[in-house]
Amino acid sequence: MDEKMPSNLEVGERIRRIREDLKMNRERFSEMIDISDVFLGQIERGERSLSLKTLYKIVNFTGVSTDFILLGNPSSNSTLHKINRILEKSSEANIEYFYQIINCSHIFFKTYEKDT
């Protein structure tokens, strides 16, 4: 095994990037994954290690893969992968609701593109 173990700082920077991509401040993100904002800040700065429990909460909330968080593997963090991970945990009713949102957005943008 010649791959090096990711540092706390590398993992923390990826988590910060995920949070910022979601346009969430530290307080809101930490509330959504049920940890303190102080602890989240320590993780993001690489001062504290990420527990398996916290990793699970982040993956469960964001749909981002553990491969991306731990190893920085961008192919496992594509938008389609993230959507699929969220859908896998959703009820049939929620999946139908998501479909309606996507379909309406698709129709809107197709119409908008014709007008420009």
Is the pLDDT at 12 greater than 70? The verdict is yes
Tens digits of per-residue pLDDT, 82-102?
Answer: 888 788 889 999 999 999 999
pTM listed for this prediction: 0.70
Give the domain 8-77 fold: 434 Repressor (Amino-terminal Domain) (1.10.260)
Map out the domains of the chain as residue ranges: 8-77
Helical spans, DSSP H, in the chain? 8-21, 26-32, 37-44, 52-62, 66-71, 79-88, 92-115
